[in-house]
Amino acid sequence: MTIKKKYLIIYLILIAVCGLLMLCRWLNSIDPSIILLPDYLLLHITNFAICTMLLLVFGYVVLLCGGKMMIITIVAILVAILSTVYECFLPMINTPDIWDAVFGVAGIAIAYVYLAMLRKRGLTVKQINLDL
């Protein structure tokens, strides 16, 4: 399978945006005077970016290898549940915060919508020429 150029560009933009969001958060952690996003977003954007990138990379590989959307759906649901449980009920290295869970689920939703569109319109079967 191959991916159409438009969907590859969207994929790379999504990954780059998530990377930039995490960079904004990390720069603010290193030097609090660097404020590239509003405080409210800075507090929760890491979970959004991690969940989005996790599902994007996993789903992209699955689809390009000919896998089914059902696998991606199961993984998306599992990541959403695990992220929510961790953010709301497990205070290890983290203070419980429902908004982190909401941002994580939003990131999963965005990645899932992209992957569904990719599966429906963005993949083509590459013909192999076996003429010798």
Average confidence score pLDDT of the chain = 87
**At a CB cut-off of 8 Å and minimum separation 6, what does 15 contact?**
53, 56, 57
Q: Is the pTM of this model over 0.75?
A: yes
Residue with tokens 């929760």: 44
87-92 long-range Cβ contacts below 8 angstroms, 24+ apart = 87/47
Beta bridge partners of 74: none
- pLDDT tens digits for range 74-119: 999 999 999 888 888 876 777 778 888 899 999 999 999 999 999 9
CB atoms under 10 Å from CB of 88, counted, come to 13
pLDDT reported for residue 88: 83
Phi, psi angle pair for 12, to nearest 5°: -65, -35
Q: Return the structure tokens found at 11.
A: 């994929």
